[in-house]
Chains A and B, each alone.
Chain A
Amino acid sequence: MGALRGMLGSKYRCIDAHLHVVDFLQDTKGLQHCLHYMDKGNISHASIFGLPVSKGWESWERHPPEYYLADDSKCYYYSAVDAFLAMELRFLDSSQQARFFPMIGGFNPCDKYAYKHIERIIRYFPGIWHGVGEILFRHDDLTNLTYGDPSRCNHPAMDSIFDLCTEYEFPICIHQNITSVGTKTYPKWLHEVEETFHQHPKVQFVWAHCGISRGVYTPLYYQIVKRILEHYGNVCVDLSWIVYDEFICPRGVLDEHWLELAEEYSERICIGTDVVNRFEYLPATIQKYDVFLDALSASAREHVAWKTAFRLYSPVRA
């Protein structure tokens, strides 16, 4: 198979369980544009997030940054993103809207008043929300570049958010790295994740990228994810972004352990692109999972590609 094959999309009908429709400047190419590439990629639906932070252009930077890692400018929490997301949906007809599962996420997770933001968004834009996320906790350089305390999933401010999620039956997608970029010998933040999953058993969590991001590595990783799925029935994972390229299918070779895991827990595993507003990447990014889906049984494949995400995200909850 040639390298350009990806641009033709997946051979399987998929749900993109992890798609950001704005970038770090809070710009969007629009949901119509997104739909065009979803069609090309064979993506029937998508769970869509904004981004809770906006990259500034600080006085000390001569050239404007286009990505959070582009320079030393800080990021700040940007709550308007949820309202903008709701407004973007209004440009679509009802059949198009039905292909998106919008999520609320524009708040500072270290603020004990953050739950009020969710309440306000539901009040002013009712009847369209499917969940909460992607909430950015421990996230390597992004955490360090964001004003305020480092966010973590077991922060006391999150208790009221998790209570709201229980009340509305919102699934909540969280990004919490399993360890820091500088600590590769053991998963130093795993205890924060487990504490959160343990203390909020009624919350439906989706652990984004299984706790991995750029430069993050821990030994025994596959076993850790397996244990999490085994111990916490309220946790699902999305295999999005670099967890796939670096652990599940490194250099195009599938890891047997991950295949076994996906087979066993297929009803709690979904796939996502983690595309950030560059929708032209949707076909190729979703297509990369084909080799993984090919290797699964028909039943597991159906869950991982579509059913798990549909069960988690498709109901409108508020």
Chain B
Amino acid sequence: MSCRICYEDDCVEIENADELFVALDLTPPEADGIILSQIGDKIFHLITSDSEFLLILQKAFGTRGESKQPYLRCFGNNLGRVVTTGKTLSKALALLAEEEDQAYFLNALGTEGLRRCITTVADIAEALEWLYGKEDELFIELIGWDFIMRFIHSMETLGMVLKHLEKSDEGAALEKIGWPRVLACIQTPADLAYAFSGLIEDNVHALIGQLDAKKLQQLIPVRQELTRISQRYLSKTNGHYLKERYDRLAEGGIS
């Protein structure tokens, strides 16, 4: 089924996304709203897949960070029909440079639509990569930490998510996840290294405080490793704290 669009003196029938792209290319960006308003909810006749959705998203209203919300609004509550994968989710967020557009997009997809796109921790991380501040929070609120933690089994995977949050939000995120689940992600010296190198200083301090004798022995089996770890990953303060805690707990079992 085609859609008829008119601009200035001409009217043409548009049969598919490629032709819509050409129409948007031939007309100035200020005409995009006029053209899309004529299409309205018939957009689903033209845009039938993720790749077609992205094709037009790139083009509509310009390519230098302009708002694309009128295009998104054509899809109403059915945006999930053309945003079905993690790759589409992250690419779309990369193309939406306006925070309000990102918020609209995330809310339009909602918890169900977003969760349907996510199949790996990389999908979460790549979405967060393009979100900042409030939109980070919105995205996480919509999908939920419980859902996120289904994909996280190591400090590397947890780090993939945490590194895209505002540093000031990291502590709150760790609290919401809960220290037992964070500690469960730290099973190897490599996990510990990820944690020490990735978390902000206050949270590294808090983490050291959570490491009991058994965990410390598991992660730092010999004392000689302490110096190397401290030098490579820790601030002076946290290095001292780790050493002090290690030595104190050593009296209770670490040799």
Q: How far is the CA of A2 from the CA of B28 in the complex (A)?
A: 11
In the assembled complex, the Cα of A78 lies from the Cα of B163 at a distance in Å of 41
- Whether the pair A2, B7 counts as a contact (CB closer than 8 A) is yes
Q: Does B146 touch A at the CB level, under 8 Å?
A: no
| A-B interface pairs (CB < 8 A), number | 42
Contact with A along B25-48 (1 / 0, CB 8 A): 011100100000000000000000
Q: A2-B7, A4-B10 are in contact. Are A280 and B27 (CB under 8 A)?
A: no
Q: In angstroms, how far is the closest chain B Cβ from the Cβ of A249?
A: 15
State whether A3 and B21 are in contact (beta carbons under 8 Å apart), knowing that A8-B12, A284-B26 are contacts in the complex.
no
Which residues of A from 1 to 49 have beta carbons under 8 Å from B?
A: 1-8
Beta-carbon contact of B22 and A3 below 8 Å:
no
Interface residue tally for chain B (C-beta within 8 Å): 18
Asked whether, in the complex, the Cβ of B26 is within 8 Å of the Cβ of A280, the reply is no
Q: Interface code B1-32, partner A: CB below 8 Å = 1, 0 otherwise? A: 00001111111100010110111001110010
Determine if A202 is an interface residue (Cβ-Cβ < 8 Å). Answer: no
User: What secondary structure prevails in chain A residues at the interface with B?
Assistant: helix
Chain B, residue nearest A6 (CB): B26
List the B residue with the shortest CB-CB distance to A63. Answer: B91
- Report B5 CB to chain A, min CB distance, Å: 7
Question: Across the interface, do B22 and A2 meet the contact criterion of CB distance under 8 Å?
Answer: no
In this complex, the member of A4, A5, A7 whose beta carbon has the largest number of chain B beta carbons within 10 angstroms is A4
CB distance from B54 to the nearest CB of A (A): 11
Closest chain A residue to B17 by CB distance? A280
Closest to A62 in B: B126
The distance in angstroms between the C-alpha atoms of A235 and B63, with both chains bound, is: 40
Q: CA–CA, A32 to B249, complex, Å?
A: 76
Q: In the assembly, what is the distance between CA of A8 and CA of B9, in Å?
A: 13
The answer to whether A5 and B22 have CB atoms under 8 Å apart is no
Q: Is A281 an interface residue (CB 8 A)?
A: yes
Give the distance in Å from the alpha carbon of A79 to the alpha carbon of B18 in the complex: 29
Majority secondary structure, B binding face: mixed
Cβ 8 A contact of A4, one of B12, B18, B21: B12
Instruction: Decide yes or no whether A74 CB sits under 8 A from chain B.
Output: no
Chain A residues 264 to 293 lying within 8 A of chain B, measured CB to CB, are 278, 280-281, 284
A280 (CB) vs chain B CBs: closest residue: B18
With beta carbons under 8 angstroms apart, the residue of B8, B9, B26 that contacts A7 is: B26
B21 touches A2 (CB 8 A): no
Q: How far is the CA of A4 from the CA of B31 in the complex (A)?
A: 11
Given the complex, which residues of B lie within 8 Å of A2, measured CB to CB?
A: 7-10
Partner of B8, one of A3, A278, A280, A284: A3
Complex: chain A residue closest to B26, CB-CB? A3
| A158 CB, min distance to chain B CBs, angstroms | 36
Q: Contact at A4–B19, with CB atoms within 8 Å?
A: no
Complex contact A7–B23 (CB within 8 A): yes
A-B contact pairs, 27 of them (CB 8 A): A1-B9, A1-B10, A2-B9, A2-B10, A3-B7, A3-B10, A3-B26, A3-B27, A3-B28, A3-B31, A4-B5, A4-B6, A4-B8, A4-B10, A4-B11, A4-B12, A4-B23, A4-B26, A5-B9, A6-B26, A7-B19, A7-B23, A8-B10, A280-B16, A280-B22, A281-B22, A284-B22
Given contacts A3-B26, A280-B19, 18 further A-B pairs with CB under 8 A are A1-B9, A2-B7, A2-B10, A3-B7, A3-B8, A4-B7, A4-B10, A4-B11, A4-B12, A4-B23, A5-B9, A6-B26, A7-B19, A7-B23, A8-B12, A280-B16, A280-B22, A284-B22
B residues lining the A interface (CB < 8 Å):
5-12, 16, 18-19, 21-23, 26-28, 31
